[in-house]
Chain A
C-alpha cells in the first residue's frame, strides 16, 4: 500500500468515523508516551528489571485491540504495554506496577513483563515466548464449553515463530476450530538477532498457511490497514469461521529492552525506520484530511499529561506491605511467613 492509498483510506475513514480514527491516534500517542516515560523512569533507577518498549509498533497494538470487545480475551507477550493500554488497562495502574507500588495492575508482584488486567480481558503479558498460543487455544475451548460470545486474541513476535508451541497451537486451533485470532507482530528482530538470520523459508504467513489457516499480511505501521484487517478477521473468528492469522509488518525502533544500545544494528537502519513509524504517518494523513494541527497537538498534550500524572502517582504511591509477598501462592500448602532468627 503506497502513501497515496493510505491517504485515500484515511479520507474515507475520517468521513465515515471521524471520532474513531482520532481515537486510534490518541491511543497510539498514549502508548508512545507511556513507553518513553517508562524507559526514562528505568534510566533514573526508579523502575527496575527490564522494560520492553513497543515504540514503532503502536499501530499494530492499537489497530488490533480497537476491534476487540472488553469481554474478549487477550494474551500478550513480553512486549505488552501497548497491548494492555489498547485493550483498556489503566496506564496509571500500569505505571504503578512498573514502580512496584500499591495500586499496580498485578499488585507489584509482576512488574513490566507481567501486567494483566482481567477486568478488561487482558490476561497477561508473559516472560516466556510462545506460551500464550497454547493458552489462547485453551481459552478457546472454555469459550466453546461455556457457550460464550467471545474471541481470544494472542500476540506473537516473528522470533517466536521458531518455537515449537507455535506450531502445536496453530495445528490444534485448526483441528478444534477455535475462536482464536493470532496476531504476528513482525518487528524484524528476535531479541538482538535479526530474525531472518535464524529463520528458514518464506516466513510466518507461509507457516500459518501450511496449516490451512486463513492469513492476511498488512503494513503494521499503517493504522488503518491494521484496523481494517483486524476488523475483518475478528468478525470472521467471532462468527465461527475458526482461527485466523494476521501478520503485521512493523519495526522495533528501540532495542529489545530499553537499555539495549543496539550495537548489532546497521548504521542508519533505525533512522530510516523512524520515517515510517505509525504515529507520524497517521498524523500527516489526518492533517491532509483536514483535521486541525491544534486538535492533534491537544491530543498529544493530553497523552503527555496523563502519563506525567501516572509517573507522579506511581512515585507517590506507597510500597506494598511485605506480607503481600506471602499471599496468592496457593490455597493448599501456602508458605508460612517466617524469618530466620
Chain B
C-alpha cells in the first residue's frame, strides 16, 4: 500500500492496462495538455509513453468522442473515452444510449462493445448548474450499461482496471472532489475491484446506510459520530450502481431492520429510489421502520456557496436522518 492522490492512482491504472493490453487506448479533450484542473493529472505524461495513436487528444466533439469509442470497440479495440464531466456527457447521450448500449443486443449478439466512458459527477464548490450534476441514475436506467461510481483512490484504481477489462460498455463516474483526494492504494498491478461488489465501510447492527461515491465517506463520518453515542451503524458503499450488490444490502437490512439511502444526486427519480423500492417490496417483514431516503432537492445547482449549500447533502443531514430513522417505527397494519 502507498499513499496516493486519486488522479495519480487512476493514471497508473490506465497505464498498467495499456501495458497489459496493446488494444487499450484513450481519447478525449485535453488529454495531452492541461488547463490547470487536477483532472488533467489523470493523463499526465501518458502521451510520451504511449504515443498519439493511443493517447488521442480530440477536438471538442462529444458526439464523436463517444461515437468513435463505440465504433472502435465494435471494430476490435478497447477505448477509454473521457467526457470530463457528466454534464458534457449529456452532449453524447445518443451515442451512449442508442449505440453503445444497444449494438450487442439489436444485432443479435454478433459483437460486444467493450468501452469505458469516463464522466465525472458531483459538486465542486462554485461550479454551478452545468458543471455540478450527478446523472448516474440516467445510465442505470439504460439496459446494456454498467455504471460505476468509485469513492476512494483505491477504488478508482481497482475499478477502472476492472472497467477496462469488462466486455460491457461501462460508464465510469468518479467524483470531481476525488481528483485531488489522497488515500491508501494497493501497489499490486493486478489489484482489481470486482464489478458489482459493494464495500462495507462500517459494521453495525442498529441501522444500515447505503450510499455511493463521495457521499459514502460522509455517511462513514456520520456513523463515527453516532458511534460515540453507542449507535452501531452499518455503512455500505455500493461502488457499482449497475449491477448493484443486492446481496450485501439485503443481508445488512435483514440484520439491522432499518435502511437509510443517501445520495448527492437529486432525490426524485434517483437511484436511491430503486434501492428503497426493492427493500420495501422484498424485505418488508424485516423492516422495523419505513425506509428513508436523503438526497438533493429537485433544483439546479446554484453558484454562491451559501446557495449551493441549500442543494448539498452533508454528513450532518445524514446523521440527522439516521437518528430520526432510529426513532421511527412501522405502524401496525
On A, residues with C-beta under 8 Å from B are: 73, 75, 104-110, 114, 116-118, 123-124, 126-128, 131, 133-146, 152, 164-165, 168-169, 171-172, 175-176, 327-333, 335
Are the C-beta atoms of B146 and A328 separated by less than 8 Å? no
Pick 18 A–B contacts, CB within 8 A, sort by A.
A73-B75, A104-B108, A116-B107, A134-B64, A135-B70, A136-B71, A137-B71, A138-B71, A138-B73, A139-B72, A146-B76, A146-B77, A165-B67, A328-B104, A330-B144, A332-B146, A332-B166, A333-B196
The answer to whether A131 and B74 touch across the interface, beta carbons within 8 angstroms, is: no
The 10 closest A-B pairs by CB, nearest first: A134-B67, A138-B71, A107-B108, A333-B243, A135-B71, A138-B68, A138-B72, A328-B109, A139-B75, A142-B75
Q: How far is the CA of A324 from the CA of B42 in the complex (A)?
A: 41
Q: Is the CB of A329 within 8 A of B105?
A: yes
Q: Determine the chain B residues whose CB is within 8 A of the CB of A123 once the complex forms.
A: 74-75, 111
CA distance A128 to B102 in the complex (A): 12
Residue pair A327, B109 in contact (C-beta under 8 Å): yes
Chain B residues within an 8 Å CB radius of A175 = 59
| Contacts A134-B95, A332-B195; A142 near B71 (Cβ below 8 A) | yes
Which of A118, A152, A168, A327 is within 8 Å of B110, CB to CB?
A: A118
The answer on a CB contact under 8 Å between A134 and B68 is: yes
Interface pair B23/A145, CB less than 8 Å apart: yes
B98 adjacent to chain A (CB < 8 Å) = yes
- Interface segment out of the listed B50-58, B172-180, B318-326: B50-58
Q: Shortest Cβ distance from B102 into chain A, in angstroms?
A: 9
Cβ B25 vs Cβ A172 within 8 A: no
Question: Of B25, B64, B69, which one neighbours A168 at CB under 8 angstroms?
Answer: B64
Best-surrounded residue of B67, B70, B104, B243 (most CB of chain A within 10 A): B67
Q: How far is the CA of A142 from the CA of B114 in the complex (A)?
A: 13
Contact of B146 among A116, A142, A333 (CB under 8 A): A333
Q: Quote the shortest CB–CB distance from B245 to chain A (angstroms).
A: 11
Given the known interface contacts A137-B64, A138-B67, the answer about A332 and B59 at a Cβ–Cβ threshold of 8 Å is: no
- Please provide the chain B residues from 62 to 116 with a CB less than 8 Å away from any CB of chain A in the complex: 63-64, 66-77, 79, 94-95, 98-99, 103-111
Determine the residue in chain A with the shortest Cβ distance to B91: A164
Residue pairs across A and B with CB atoms within 8 Å: the count is 157
List chain B positions with a Cβ less than 8 A from chain A. 22-23, 25, 27, 53-54, 56, 58-59, 61, 63-64, 66-77, 79, 94-95, 98-99, 103-111, 143-146, 166-168, 195-196, 242-243
Q: How far is the CB of A152 from chain B (nearest CB, A)?
A: 8
Q: Do residues B68 and A328 form an inter-chain contact, with CB atoms below 8 A? A: no
B22, B53, B72, most chain A CB atoms within 10 A: B72
A144-B73 contact, Cβ under 8 Å, with A329-B105, A329-B144: no
Contacts of B143 in A (CB 8 A): 329-330, 335
CB of B91, distance to nearest CB on chain A (Å)? 9
In the complex, the chain A residue whose C-beta lies closest to that of B65 is A134
Task: Tell which of B69, B94, B105, B106 has the most Cβ of chain A within 10 Å.
Answer: B106
Known: A123-B111, A138-B73. 17 other contacts (CB 8 A): A105-B108, A107-B108, A107-B109, A108-B108, A109-B105, A131-B94, A131-B99, A134-B63, A138-B72, A138-B79, A141-B77, A145-B54, A165-B63, A172-B68, A175-B59, A328-B109, A330-B143
User: Chain A nearest CB: distance from B98 CB in Å?
Assistant: 5
Whether the Cβ atoms of A134 and B66 lie closer than 8 Å is: yes
Q: Which single member of B61, B94, B145 contacts A330 (CB below 8 Å)?
A: B145
Q: Check if B53 sits within 8 Å of A144, measured CB to CB.
A: yes
A172 — which chain B residues lie within 8 A by C-beta?
Answer: 58-59, 61, 64, 68
> Could you tell me if A118 and B111 are in contact, using CB atoms closer than 8 angstroms?
yes
* B166 contacts across to A, CB distance below 8 A: 331-332
